[in-house]
Amino acid sequence: MRSTGTAVLVGCGALFGLSYVLVRDVVPATGPVGVTVVRTLIGGTVLLLAARAAGQRPRWRRWRSYLMLGALSAAVPFSLISLSMLSLNAGTAAVLNASSPLFALGFDVLQRRRRPGWGQLAGLALAIAGVSLAMASRGLHLGDGGAVGVPAGQAGAAVFAYGGFFAARHFPDEAPAALAAGQQLAACVLLAPALLLVPVRAAPTGGLVLRLAVLGVAGSALAYLLFYRLVAAEGPARAANVNLLVPLFGVLWGWALLSEPVPPVSVAGMAATVAGLFLVLRERPAAG
């Protein structure tokens, strides 16, 4: 991966990691559907304004494809991952989310009909082991909610991974800002009716509104703008590796914003994750 692509990957991971911390904070009050609707509405609106300012706009005549992309890349995985956080601790939820690159690798193998390299497999194994080690201090146990939380977290990771492939196949020439705007607004449209069945759990407060605004702008608008740039430049399989960085940045954001301790075992896990990610990214993707 080129240095520009690596910088975009790291920036995207940092923003998704921030969203991980914010979702964990607000989901008890808003519920999984509520937080997803609000963040996609804010993110989509910001992206639409940015795209129009740049002379771009989503191709709304392809609204069916946008609705499918919104479901695959935001509505379904956001809701499933938020649901997993209601029943699992932060460490377990993060490790489940980090399995997304494995699903992406599987989709890539099926699509290209080629076997992954040993370096790539070793790198993924090392990186996921590093994530598990880094999150060990947050606890890695299933508890009473494992029967719901684990399948929800795994399904969310798999759907998110496939969403990148859908975007690459159906929107190869769409500008990243326009694509991300359409995807976020489509996800909002899909999920908004569900609020009638699963209403927001608590009345909004100033602090809650502020956290949701940051989540929408940083964790949805900017993060997905970078993500679709990465998909266009590096392909969906390599873009999915951003999920390996999300738990690590979640730990760092927790330390920076919430004064959460970072024990030595977490530092060792971060180092192992970075080393594994290096092995994955140094292998050139096969043409297909």
Cα–Cα distance between 283 and 53 in angstroms, integer? 37
Q: Is pLDDT above 60 for 77?
A: yes
Q: In terms of Cα–Cα distance, which of 218, 200, 182 is closest to 39?
A: 218
16 Cα distance to chain centroid:
6
pLDDT for residue 183 = 95
Q: In terms of Cα–Cα distance, which of 69, 78, 38 is closest to 182?
A: 69
Cα–Cα distance between 157 and 102 in angstroms, integer? 9
CB 138 within 8 A of CB 90: yes
If you average pLDDT over every residue of the chain, what do you get? 86
pLDDT range class, residue 159, cuts 50, 70, 90: very high
Mean pLDDT of 128-147: 73
**Range with the poorest average pLDDT among 1-5, 42-46, 178-182:** 1-5
pLDDT range class, residue 89, cuts 50, 70, 90: low
**Range with the poorest average pLDDT among 55-59, 81-85, 167-171, 268-272:** 81-85
Residue identified by tokens 């502020």 is 210
Cα–Cα distance between 32 and 45 in angstroms, integer? 20
pLDDT range class, residue 287, cuts 50, 70, 90: very low
pLDDT range class, residue 205, cuts 50, 70, 90: confident
39 Cα distance to chain centroid:
13
Q: 287 in helix, strand or coil?
A: coil
pLDDT range class, residue 139, cuts 50, 70, 90: low
Q: 66 in helix, strand or coil?
A: helix
Q: 95-112 pLDDT, tens per residue?
A: 778 889 989 988 988 887
More confident residue, 276 or 20: 276
User: Cα–Cα distances in Å, from 104 out to 85, 108, 188, 256?
Assistant: 22, 6, 25, 31
Predicted TM-score of the model (pTM):
0.86
Q: Is pLDDT above 50 for 211?
A: yes
Mean pLDDT of 270-274: 93
Percent of the chain topping pLDDT 70: 92
